[in-house]
């Protein structure tokens, strides 16, 4: 799935929240979006999920998608299990399978005892468990999570971490926003930063350890196939033919081997450790 030249504003003549966004979402990859409050992260996630249509540009090839919003509307006239069963039906499950999945997901997040509770009577955290279960139960090809961990207790947060990793391992794409920089940091394949409406690649925040590799080849040389997950880091000072690639520390040897043994070998200019919890200011 890709966004091509996407721009968004909420009303004609209003301020542009997003400008000229190009973004490729890959299957089997965990993608993180970071940025300050009001930078447009939720807006971008709603465009990815198809909740909002872009004012400019286009979204190409959206797969079967589920979305967990920042705020789940608890005022719907359903019980927890009734709502999940309904959503399972919307996602194409037969009634019996939808009911079974609804109860299984509520149990999985420690909310089984709330199956018959009306949504309007659930606590904020329990309501969030229903929202998360709703996103996961259909095994979507693209799962979009907007601060979905907020309000969950530690067991449920860990359960959501596991469910996200299961989804990625099964070949799904997951895109998420979360204000905790440690959230799934070691599993994040790609990260992008939103600032002033623009999206730029950035190393996943708070990688337990990562390495920046600066490599050079004649201008236009493609990167070799089969690289471990890397994030290209834009650098104003980079000369033509030079790339800066952030990679997890335990994958840096594989990256260096791949670059050095490429059909057109790359010259390694620098290898710099990135301190944990720090994004490069490049
Ligand atoms: N429905 C809306 N109508 C008008 N403006 C909106 C709407 N939703 C968001 N905005 C504006 O778009 C901008 C980006 O908001 P958005 O919620 O996407 O940011 P965010 O990065 O997710 O913020 P936060 O980290 O605080 O959740 C803000 O200026 C916000 O006021």
pLDDT at 235 over 60: no
- Cut 0.90: pTM above it: no
Please write the tens of the pLDDT for every residue from 212-223: 888 998 888 888
CB 48 within 8 A of CB 140: no
What residue owns the CA closest to ligand 1's atom 6? 10
CB 66 within 8 A of CB 144: yes
Please write the tens of the pLDDT for every residue from 163-184: 999 999 999 999 999 988 888 9
What residue owns the CA closest to ligand 1's atom 17? 42
Pairing of strands 242-248, 210-216: antiparallel
pLDDT band at 86 (very low <50, low <70, confident <90, very high): very high
pLDDT at 276 over 60: no
C-alpha 38 to ligand 1 mean position (Å): 5
pLDDT value of position 280: 44
Nearest alpha-carbon partner for 193 in 161, 232, 249, 152: 232
Task: Round to whole Å and give the CA distance between 171 and 177.
Answer: 20
Q: Which amino acids bring their CB within 6 angstroms of ligand 1?
A: 10, 17, 35, 37-43
């Amino acid at each position: 799935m890709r966004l091509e030249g996407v721009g968004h504003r909420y009303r004609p003549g209003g301020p542009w929240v997003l400008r000229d966004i190009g973004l490729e979402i890959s299957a089997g990859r965990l993608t993180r979006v970071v940025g300050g409050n009001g930078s447009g992260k939720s807006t971008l996630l709603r465009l990815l999920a198809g909740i909002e249509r872009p004012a400019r540009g286009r979204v190409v090839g959206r797969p079967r998608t589920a979305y967990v919003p920042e705020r789940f509307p608890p005022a719907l006239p359903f019980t927890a299990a009734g709502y999940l069963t309904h959503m399972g039906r919307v996602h194409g499950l037969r009634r019996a399978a939808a009911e079974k999945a609804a109860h299984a997901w509520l149990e999985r997040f420690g909310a089984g005892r709330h199956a018959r509770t009306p949504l309007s009577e659930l606590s904020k955290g329990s309501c969030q468990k229903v929202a998360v279960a709703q996103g996961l139960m259909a095994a979507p090809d693209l799962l979009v999570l907007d601060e979905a961990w907020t309000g969950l207790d530690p067991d449920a947060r860990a359960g959501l971490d596991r469910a996200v990793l299961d989804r990625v391992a099964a070949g799904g794409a997951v895109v998420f926003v979360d204000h905790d920089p440690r959230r799934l940091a070691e599993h994040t394949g790609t990260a992008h930063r939103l600032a002033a409406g623009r999206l730029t690649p950035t190393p996943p925040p708070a990688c337990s350890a990562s390495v920046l590799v600066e490599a050079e080849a004649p201008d236009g040389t493609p990167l070799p196939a089969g690289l471990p997950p890397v994030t290209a880091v834009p650098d104003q000072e980079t000369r033509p033919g030079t790339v800066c690639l952030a990679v997890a520390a335990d994958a840096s040897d594989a990256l260096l081997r791949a670059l050095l043994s490429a059909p057109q070998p790359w010259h390694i200019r620098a290898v710099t450790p990135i301190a944990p919890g720090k994004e490069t200011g490049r």
